[in-house]
Structure 1
């Protein structure tokens, strides 16, 4: 008696590409079914926009498309058993990410910000890993919760922020200067990005006053006071909310492709008065003491930059008689933490 063979299986056996196509389509169908079921039933208690559902569905389908050059991911020899499993896993993964974000932050409004911080952190970590040799010291001094003000040395216009973003396992909010922008479209783009990440924007007075009226620029001196008030208000709000705020009190890095007043890689600038004002306001209006973390950065040139990021012991306003003493102590420790390691200094002395 002849054995019946399904025509679909015969076609799949004769053409592996058709087998992969059938498996991907099967997985995609399961993705759609699981997504619709979970979003209609389990997720009805959480206020999530339909756009998040479409984004999760697009994520699953993109993962399936990535299997085109790697058919072994769907296991060509597993028949039609594995694709449904793959589809269900992908659908539940995407839905779980959205559900986790919404239950953590209370609403879907914070989900784009949550994902933006993840993307920026992962991108910074990957970029730093491929362009530098990176070392971290003293990370145990950074509290796991509560308001933190990180006062860091500013050496490199790009690597400094990437180093902090890739190391600290909390959402960072960087006080960012955008006065170097000239085209208006760049201003609109970067301000939208900063708003999504909740990064305060500051404008440096001397940068805007240095431009002539005929020179095209995205900002003007009339914007200074308005952006200063916004930056202070946003910074205090973040600290009161128990977030981590990063500030570079020198205001200028040692290496910057546009402009820096520093003359060499060893130069330090005095901390700006705005840092003292921010510390005063945070201490005056905050119910929880703000931990100020002095943070040093040491760079050494090789084929790739060797970067050492060092965190110091937290300092608190109540431990000092006045704010001036606190600022002086922070500045002193930032410079000390940015010095070469003791062992490296001894080796260089022996070589000389």
Structure 2
């Protein structure tokens, strides 16, 4: 166990979470095994993950049959009832981790509907409803970092709801999210409440940035761009540099009097969570987005295949705060070469919302097919 790189992450203040949820995986002890053997500390879900879990196979059929027999025929209700059962069962497996870490880890995330990602008012309403419905201390409600949802994040925190802020790509958006967290805590404290139990992570997406930037680099190199060598030198480096600068901002905020006042009242920092950490480019090491982002007070939510790869041949060492000057140079070079990181991150947010909505369409579509099949008795 001592040699397991996933277990070694604890030495560097990082918590491995699993970016995957499935009923059978929780029920058959596989999730508990990761907790026991790999020091797994949390679980995240999203519409794409639920689509894979529910849309294929038959493991959800018994519950769907029961619900249909009781008169439930609304597709959204069928999905949500099944999802909430999964989240609750997963919360129970992770609860000992929550207790052991005194509420720092052990969280399970459930996302608000991606259909309302551009409506802050509906988002906070749904966040409250899901928080109440699941009713588990170690639940996190996932809210996207779209401009209309930033106030919803602040309101949720001010009401004592744990929040996993998702779809963060740019440093500016992250600054707004951290500000919303701090303001939310200040409001909760001003009402005379304790704040130590409120937890939040800021899910900063990584690999998608390199996929977009490297595609642009490759097409410019193929077209014979005069800066081809300089462009090629940036392949696979911009996302890590971007993440490192987000972490530097986090460290700066921790030094402020405003944060110190909240910390003195028991506040937990809003940890950066590295998301989208599976490597999509076969020319890079498959553990690049785990190896390169290890540091204090952070989380990496890792897809199963990348978790297996990191366990097998990953390297656990403090990397996140190393060569910050180099990271700054990479970003300024990207700017000099007109790689338009700001435009890329803005598009990735729009695309991310659309992708989750598409996954949700497919998920509800597959649940509708199940409903029709089970109703017809086939």
Larger radius of gyration: 1
TM-score of the pair, normalised by structure 2 = 0.27
TM-score of the pair, normalised by structure 1 = 0.28
Name which structure has the greater RCO, CA cutoff 8 Å, separation 6+: 2
